[in-house]
Structure 1
Amino acid sequence: MSAKPPYFRKLSRYYLWYTACFALFLVALALLEQEGMPRLWIGYIFMFATIALYATIGVVARTSNVTEYYVAGRRVPALFNGMATAADWISAASFISLAGGLYLYGFDGLAYIMGWTGGFVLVALLIAPYLRKFGQYTIPDFLAARYGGGAGGRGGPVRALAVGATILVSFTYVVAQIYAVGLIASRFTGVDFSVGIFLGLASILVCSFLGGMRGITWTQVAQYIILLVAFLIPSIWLAAKHADNPVPQLAYGSLLPKIAVREQQLKQDPRETQVRAEFQRRAENYEARLAALPESWKAGKLEAQRRLAEVRASNASLGEVRQAERAFNTYPGSPDEAQALWREQRDANRARARPPVPHGVPFPGATEEESDKRRNNFLAVVFCLMFGTAALPHILMRAYTTPSVDETRVSVFWTLFFILLIYLTIPALAVLAKYDIYTSLVGSDYASLPTWVSYWANVDKVKPLLSIADINGDGVVQLAEIAIDADVLVLATPEIGGLPYVISGLVAAGGLAAALSTADGLLLAISNALSHDVYYKMVDPGASTQKRVTISKLLLLAVAFIAAYAASQKPADILSLVGAAFSLAGSTLFPVLVLGVFWKRANHTGAIAGMLTGFLVCLWYMLRASPTLGGSLDASWLGIQPLAAGVFGVPAGLLATALGSLLSAPPSRSSLGMADYIRAPERDGP
């Protein structure tokens, strides 16, 4: 049954009014900035006005009805479901980190855009319509019904494994979103990073706690409008500024050759070579320390003690004393700590000693072997992101919210359309920002650095997001002296381009919307899996609808605070966390989802074997190849980076599912009936 036209018209009218009011809000803030309103107040207004908006929608959309709470009443029109899914999808990694990744890695960063976009094609063709036809609430629901088994036919082991995968994948992903919330809040309100995390968490909880999927859906539509405007305005501004063309995609093509020329100039500049040589010397120094452990650790500790005693005894300045104290207090506490720290610093200095990566050259490398390694990683990342996208629980859940199977298919089309509005602009923004930095900041005097440099350098003192230091002492900024984190570029772009500060606040609000919209969906996926699939399906099948919703809300609170605590520990950069989540999702869930739809012979035993094998192979490779998790890149296969572990996990899961199914009894009659029902195209599910 299609959505009723009056309902669609009512929603359209509401969001048109909302967009008009948002435009007036921007104009009012711009006028106030012209009248001298302090920047800090603009940041506060943007942050708290948008959070209040989301909270208001959450309160208005509050519900205790199970169908409304879990799947928004199955009445979301395709267009609006597409906008909500796009907001759910355009996470902090897409909005904040992806352009930064393209800035740093050039062509290699396009793997993320190709993989994520291609993944939605798989969702549309292989999974989403069939999930909507099934017509329940969660991904574990689908797998338990399809593969059967367990006490009372509730799919015990299969459901339990699917719940575990949902929680692990969604939790890894949501930590990255909450980290981004803390980053934005700390920059634009001046609060501590950890405090910023819990400020954003309040907005997440109001939407998802009170209204479930219903509240999240209508909030995500509002968030998509904000993040679209926030991304397009600075991109259009920079395109007009540097290419005299307001279309970023066209400006992108005209600036790429200019950037290539500038890269060659910087590569051959003697001052750049001098700075890179200094970083190489530092890397070799750390290598020598590593080779001399543990004696080098003991000697370094004695030297730090001697230096501290010397400055205290010589009546040195307070600054020198504090510097010596800081060096002593932060010195590694053991040879093992020293090994980890010095290895990280050695690798960081080696990276900065290399010439800039040519932006438009595919798979650049000094040797054919290095070029092949880059190509392999590019293809592996595309593979993992595609199959991970097609198995992400919080995205697939949205297939349950439309009125019919046909609406689900149309919804995926709109999702791709709304995502591409952003994704086709991201590569252009990376090039525009790079051109601005290469031509305006590089070569400028340290005495006249723009104010945005000091702002961003002081956001996080422990892990600086931006640093510029005069390594060769010539008083001029060299490219090799600039260290910029991928997570800061988009947020700093308005200031880099000389836009009014109100646009910086707008971009921060867009980044916050991207992080909050995804975090909402992820937390709901986790709490629904625990409350519906564990509590209701396994523990208390007789629970009332009111009790089920209450349990879901309580679990959502608990998971949210645990995720916020994990994010406050700054476990990794955003793209790394997100990459791990995609590999785990693809390896664990994609094989059983697709084979469950298209292969009737797939059975209970095969599903268990596939999920366990895919997960364990993926996790084992991450542990083996990730220095952060105690492994080593030297132990990688074909040089594949650990975030692309799914390139091994997905085939292993498919093979294990097939072998487990073929070597065990055929599926039960109920499982075969479910397989036939899912594939039948002419009937909608409930």
Structure 2
Amino acid sequence: MTDDDRGRSGFIDNPGKLFVLGTLGFLAFFAFMAVLEQMGVGSASIGAGFLVFTVGFYAVIGWLARTARVDVYYVAGRAIPTHYNGMATAADFLSGAFFVALAGGIYFGGYPYLGFVTGIAGGFVLVNALLAPFLRKSGCYTVPDFIGTRYGSRTARLCALVVLAVTCFVYLTAQVSATGTIAAVTLGLPFEQGVWLATIAIFACSMLGGMRGVTWTQAAQYVVLAIAFLVPVLWIASGQGFGSIPFFSLGDAIDRVTELEALHGLHPAREAIEGLSVLAQPQGAEGSGWTMVSLAVCIMAGTAAMPHILMHSFTTPTVRSARRSVGWAIVFAAVLLLSAPALATLTKLQLLDPSLATSVIGKAVAEVSNLGWVQHWTSAGMMAVADQNGDGIVQLNEFFLRPELIVLAAPEIAGLPHVLTALVAAGCLAATMSTANGLLLAIANALSHDLYHKVVDRKADTSRRLIVARLLLLAAGAAAAYASSLQVAGILGTLAWAFGFAASGLFFPLVLGVWWKRANMAGAVAGMVGGFAAGSAYLYLVFNEIIPPLLGIDDMRFGIVGMAASLLCMIAATLLTRPPSREAQDMVDELRMPGGQTILGQD
């Protein structure tokens, strides 16, 4: 360790104290902004203040964590304490794109979208049981590094690199899109400018410190994320009479929403408004059970194979701590996974229930259109009230929203102080930045380590490898920002695509690489290429409406097709070719032993 690196690492010598002080500092800042609102400071200034404060806080952590060591840049020196690594993993995975889009998906689509929630939870269990400790014991730096080492093949390494790059890039565009939406709405900027401004902020956290900077930033972002989502949920629930812990009484809220939907009537809107959605038909339609299960399977397998999540398995001090850190991640994630369906349900009830002062459905169009928050979000292009039947009353199918507005506007819909809206925006920004940082690093590290160092220039020194990694990080971020600005697909759909690519190309080669000694290089390559190609082809055909969805497997669930093809191709190719060498099989035996030293020593 260089002297400079040793000095810079001092900021994490006592992380517990720093996290307590940081949390108290954030709460103090929140209280200060609440006082400013009471003094008449405008909502735009409060929102900008939250964004500047939080981004500046994350950038400071990224600066303090800067490093010139390869092992610190790639795997945080394998020195992240267990519970902080779990906290960072939860923040890395539970992205703002998920929360911004998932609550909207549940609001408009009902319980089938809970497949995201159950899939994430099940995916973390698979990571913990099947992969995390074994990846850590391998001593590798990246997912392609593990696959290349396990199967003893440069071809397998490059195939894994391609799948990783596509998966992470698609996921990254969703994060940058969500971050751009938050920045644009909060600062009043055009969406395209918000995307690029958000990308610059993301660079500030990950450019200098690599995995060490990103991990500690993500742990801090989890604190902001938890506060930002739990405070509004608990506040709104208390105001609606569901107690201070609404998760145990959410069924009553759902029953009330169902009753009110039937009362108001659900009918298709006469005219659609571009980019906005409206409740159009009742939930619980035939086939929705399979819809949820199939989505959950895709998300579960995709979670277990998601490269930027598995990357955290390489950063723990020991093999045992890798498993424990995933356990902590499940705990931290569960706290937030419960908030998305709760926020969607409570917000819908807030709009529907005439006994609540802030309800809008069933009220006069003129009255609703003059509400401050309706005017604010309408001017931002995220909401519209259209009296399509001319009766002067807002019907359920005449209140149009962008799905991501359910989270961002929930405090205003409930009549809460604007400072809580700014808090939610800061939480969404924390979540999107944490995930975007992890994804950027996963792409850049894999390209620099598995392509540049392992294939192009094996003799590259440390400084050159770090320069290449940082340049690749810049290039990946800029490309994602450009792709996000095109707005090709919705945020939630883009997220589902990323999970589908990971499940199609990486799930079985990773899992069978640990649990099937007979699996060989030919099988791994066939599984990755066959699964990724089949899944991608099905996605293209269904998304472009060339063929109809088969058995209800639409473009959000194409991972089912890719996984089936991957498994069949991998088994067939493995059994039709020679078994791996005795050395490779002995490596798998050693890999599955719970103790002992790591298999590889990395420079």
Return the TM-score normalized by structure 2.
0.94
SS of the equivalent of 1:644 reads: coil
Q: Which residue of 2 aligns with 1:233?
A: 231
Question: How far off is 1:670 after superposition?
Answer: 3.2
- Higher helix fraction (1 or 2): 1
Q: Which residue of 1 aligns with 2:360?
A: 441
Q: Which residue of 2 aligns with 1:452?
A: 373
For residues 29 and 345 of structure 2, the distance between their equivalents in structure 1, rounded to whole angstroms, comes to 30
Does the CA contact (< 8 Å) of 1:600 and 1:672 recur in 2? yes
Amino acid at match of 1:500: P
For residues 244 and 681 of structure 1, the distance between their equivalents in structure 2, rounded to whole angstroms, comes to 46
Residue 659 (structure 1) aligned with residue 580 (structure 2)? no
Amino acid at match of 1:553: R
Q: Which residue of 2 aligns with 1:405?
A: 319
Q: Which residue of 1 aligns with 2:4?
A: none
Amino acid at match of 2:120: W
For residues 250 and 447 of structure 1, the distance between their equivalents in structure 2, rounded to whole angstroms, comes to 37
Q: Which residue of 1 aligns with 2:525?
A: 608
For residues 672 and 258 of structure 1, the distance between their equivalents in structure 2, rounded to whole angstroms, comes to 58
Does the CA contact (< 8 Å) of 1:58 and 1:219 recur in 2? yes
For residues 470 and 524 of structure 2, the distance between their equivalents in structure 1, rounded to whole angstroms, comes to 30
Question: How far off is 1:8 after superposition?
Answer: 8.1
SS of the equivalent of 2:580 reads: coil
Amino acid at match of 2:254: L
Question: How far off is 1:27 after superposition?
Answer: 0.5
Residue 209 (structure 1) aligned with residue 126 (structure 2)? no
Amino acid at match of 1:638: L
Q: Which residue of 2 aligns with 1:144?
A: 148
For residues 253 and 161 of structure 1, the distance between their equivalents in structure 2, rounded to whole angstroms, comes to 46
Amino acid at match of 1:49: F
1:26-58, Cα deviation, whole Å (9 max, x unpaired) = 001100110011111101101111111111111
Q: Which residue of 1 aligns with 2:552?
A: 639
Amino acid at match of 1:665: R
Residue 541 (structure 1) aligned with residue 458 (structure 2)? yes
For residues 210 and 229 of structure 1, the distance between their equivalents in structure 2, rounded to whole angstroms, comes to 28
Does the CA contact (< 8 Å) of 1:145 and 1:671 recur in 2? no
Amino acid at match of 1:631: E
Amino acid at match of 1:567: S
Structure label with greater radius of gyration: 1
Question: How far off is 1:353 after superposition?
Answer: 8.6
Amino acid at match of 1:393: P
Question: How far off is 1:257 after superposition?
Answer: 2.0
Q: Which residue of 2 aligns with 1:129?
A: 133
Amino acid at match of 2:559: G
Q: Which residue of 1 aligns with 2:515?
A: 598
1:304-347, Cα deviation, whole Å (9 max, x unpaired) = xxxxxxxxxxxxxxxxxxxxxxxxxxxxxxxxxxxxxxxx98xx
For residues 617 and 377 of structure 1, the distance between their equivalents in structure 2, rounded to whole angstroms, comes to 21
Does the CA contact (< 8 Å) of 2:279 and 2:396 recur in 1? no
Does the CA contact (< 8 Å) of 1:58 and 1:215 recur in 2? yes
For residues 556 and 120 of structure 2, the distance between their equivalents in structure 1, rounded to whole angstroms, comes to 14
343, 348, 364: which one aligns with 1:429: 343
Return the TM-score normalized by structure 1.
0.83
1:45-86, Cα deviation, whole Å (9 max, x unpaired) = 011111111111111111110011001110101100000001
Residue 650 (structure 1) aligned with residue 567 (structure 2)? no
Question: How far off is 1:246 after superposition?
Answer: 1.3
575, 584, 590: which one aligns with 1:677: 590
Amino acid at match of 1:386: M
Does the CA contact (< 8 Å) of 1:184 and 1:508 recur in 2? yes
Q: Which residue of 2 aligns with 1:516?
A: 433
Amino acid at match of 1:404: T
Does the CA contact (< 8 Å) of 1:115 and 1:381 recur in 2? yes
Which shows bigger deviation, 6-15 or 607-616? 6-15
SS of the equivalent of 2:14 reads: helix
For residues 182 and 279 of structure 2, the distance between their equivalents in structure 1, rounded to whole angstroms, comes to 30
Amino acid at match of 1:175: T
Does the CA contact (< 8 Å) of 2:320 and 2:594 recur in 1? no
Q: Which residue of 1 aligns with 2:392?
A: 475
Q: Which residue of 2 aligns with 1:253?
A: 251
Amino acid at match of 2:328: W
Amino acid at match of 1:61: A
SS of the equivalent of 2:400 reads: strand
Structure 1 residues 332-343: aligned runs within 5 Å: none
1:484-525, Cα deviation, whole Å (9 max, x unpaired) = 222111000010011111111110000001100000000000
Question: How far off is 1:96 after superposition?
Answer: 1.0
Unaligned 5+ residue runs, structure 2?
A: 1-9, 354-358
Does the CA contact (< 8 Å) of 1:8 and 1:77 recur in 2? no
Question: How far off is 1:673 after superposition?
Answer: 2.7
For residues 615 and 100 of structure 1, the distance between their equivalents in structure 2, rounded to whole angstroms, comes to 29
Q: Which residue of 1 aligns with 2:6?
A: none
Does the CA contact (< 8 Å) of 1:92 and 1:176 recur in 2? no
1:66-117, Cα deviation, whole Å (9 max, x unpaired) = 0110011101011000000011011123221111111111111211100111
Q: Which residue of 2 aligns with 1:19?
A: 23
SS of the equivalent of 1:467 reads: strand
SS of the equivalent of 1:658 reads: helix
Does the CA contact (< 8 Å) of 1:208 and 1:520 recur in 2? yes
Residue 558 (structure 1) aligned with residue 472 (structure 2)? no
Structure 1 residues 280-359: aligned runs within 5 Å: 354-355=280-281, 357-358=282-283
184, 187, 190: which one aligns with 2:188: 190
Question: How far off is 1:352 after superposition?
Answer: 5.8
Unaligned 5+ residue runs, structure 1?
A: 1-5, 149-154, 284-343, 359-363, 366-370
Count residues in correspondence.
583
Amino acid at match of 1:422: L
Does the CA contact (< 8 Å) of 2:89 and 2:309 recur in 1? yes
Residue 390 (structure 1) aligned with residue 309 (structure 2)? no
For residues 179 and 412 of structure 1, the distance between their equivalents in structure 2, rounded to whole angstroms, comes to 28
Question: How far off is 1:682 after superposition?
Answer: 2.2
Does the CA contact (< 8 Å) of 1:446 and 1:475 recur in 2? yes
For residues 352 and 536 of structure 1, the distance between their equivalents in structure 2, rounded to whole angstroms, comes to 51
Q: Which residue of 2 aligns with 1:304?
A: none
559, 581, 589: which one aligns with 1:668: 581
Identity %: 42
263, 286, 297: which one aligns with 1:265: 263
Amino acid at match of 2:363: S
For residues 245 and 138 of structure 2, the distance between their equivalents in structure 1, rounded to whole angstroms, comes to 43
Does the CA contact (< 8 Å) of 2:164 and 2:307 recur in 1? yes
Does the CA contact (< 8 Å) of 2:531 and 2:565 recur in 1? yes
Question: How far off is 1:251 after superposition?
Answer: 3.9
Question: How far off is 1:7 after superposition?
Answer: 9.8
For residues 394 and 421 of structure 2, the distance between their equivalents in structure 1, rounded to whole angstroms, comes to 24
Amino acid at match of 1:616: A
Question: How far off is 1:244 after superposition?
Answer: 4.8
Amino acid at match of 1:68: V
Amino acid at match of 1:447: A
Q: Which residue of 2 aligns with 1:417?
A: 331
Residue 488 (structure 1) aligned with residue 401 (structure 2)? no
Residue 91 (structure 1) aligned with residue 107 (structure 2)? no
